[in-house]
Amino acid sequence: MTPPGIPLDATPGAERSTDPYLPEHGNGGYRVLHYDLDLDYRVVSNRLTGRAVVTARAVQPLSRFSLDLARLSVRDVRVDGRPAKFDHRAGKLRIKPERPIGYGATFKTEIRYAGKPGPVSGRWGEIGWDELSDGVLVASQPNGSPSWFPCNDRPDDKASFLVTLTVASAYTVLVTGDLVSRRRGAGTTTWVYEREEPTSPYLMSVQIGRYEMVELASGPVPQRAAITPRLRGVLRHDFGRHGEIMAAMQRLFGPYPFREYVVVVADDDLDDPVEAQGMAVFGRNHLDGRRTHERLAAHELAHQWFGNSLTVADWRHIWLNEGFATYAEWLWSGASGGPSTNAHAARWHAWLSTYPADVVVADPGVDRMFDPLVYKRGALTLHALRAKLGEQVFFSLLRSWVAEHRHRTVTTAQFREHAARYTTGSLDELFSEWLDRPALPPLPRIL
């Protein structure tokens, strides 16, 4: 390890992120192709030992580069099998390989690390690897991934993953991906998951608990839940219509983009559920036997299309995740016999009118990116577009948007350009009113 205070020779721009909201996270000098993580975790002592092999391609000549890793201690770094100098401070692992890496070259970085993982602290609270009363929950949006593995922590750097995790055999392990193997050892079990679809680091998740697996719904898309036995009955009721939600969303948005969908219900209370790739995580407080939180089930499922398969290029565009998932709640409500989308639009338009009009949805700023105003006004933007284009054209637009950008990153400008293909008129004023200006436009209504 390079002693503190001794700089590693820098390639200009090699460590700069292009995300204007989280410039301290990510590196612009390369793109990750694949993460191979081999982890051993002791639940009782909260001890994680890891080996990460990060395969990347340089998009500029690199004499050094960085990865994001918080809290944990780095023991050794090798680049293409050769020992590399490194400096690990303030969540940044800065690496100087023995030989410079040329533009376009593919290279492998091996990092051995260990320690007591914990969430990343910041303006949104504690994000990332978090101990439960008996197990672990990982929810990393937007910047918690470095709490458990070294990564290029930016939403637009999507890669494939292979995650091997060994824990005590009393626990079930769920990782976002397809279960490849499960090997029983002397008191431990090694779980191997593969995520072939390009995935942003923040959408990778680990869940460890004394869970049993149950079927949520039958159908072409496997839908399962990980839950503690005492919550099984209430889950059966509260998620009893999940197969119908899945079918409705596939009709509206197109085929489900992953092989399966897993709902994890932690045996702890959580403020909000959170999405991961092919997975959503709820707290036990989201089950009450009355389907009070069914809208959240619809919201998190919708994120598999909007946010996970289609991922924002940077966090300015978060309405493309949250506005779409919020509108999906309204669509499911209308389809299931609840209040119509018009009723939801009227309710939330009235709510928005009581607050200062001080958020620009297309670029809300880092302090407001999770503001409810972004969610609700983003949904109203879609409602206004639907009212303008009509039912058939609007949903054709959504399905083609999803299909054409499957497993890629997206921006607001791309969505505007895509929508423009579906009308001979101009949508510029509609989008400017709803996305670019803080003043609240009049309530749109679908006839």
Tell me the per-residue pLDDT of 50-77, one tens digit each, with 9 for 90 and over: 999 999 999 999 999 999 999 999 999 9
Q: List, as residue ranges, the binding site for Zn(2+).
A: 299, 303, 322
Tokens 């499960």 belong to residue: 182
Provide the pLDDT for residue 445.
87
Tokens describing residue 44: 């009782």
- Summarised one tens digit per residue, pLDDT across range 284-333 is 999 999 999 999 999 999 999 999 999 999 999 999 999 999 999 999 99
Coil, helix or strand for 49?
A: strand
CATH 1.10.390.10 location in the chain? 315-436
CATH 3.30.2010.30 location in the chain? 212-304
- The class (CATH top level) of 212-304 is alpha beta
Render 370-426 in DSSP notation, one character per residue.
T-HHHHHHHHHHHHHHHHHH-HHHHHHHHHHHHHHTTTEEE-HHHHHHHHHTT-SS-
**β-pair type (310-312, 159-168):** unpaired
Provide the pLDDT for residue 370.
97
Provide the pLDDT for residue 446.
87
Query: Does the global pTM surpass 0.85?
Result: yes
Give me the residues of the chain with pLDDT under 70, please.
1-17
CATH 2.60.40.1730 location in the chain? 30-208
Whole-angstrom Cα distance, residue 270 to residue 286? 8
Provide the pLDDT for residue 5.
35
The CATH homologous superfamily for domain 30-208 is tricorn interacting facor f3 domain (2.60.40.1730)
For 62-72, letters b (16+ CB in 10 Å) and e give: bbbbbbbbbbb
Tokens 């079927």 belong to residue: 215
Which active-site residues does the annotation give? 300, 375
Whole-angstrom Cα distance, residue 265 to residue 263? 7
Whole-angstrom Cα distance, residue 250 to residue 232? 26
The CATH homologous superfamily for domain 315-436 is Neutral Protease Domain 2 (1.10.390.10)
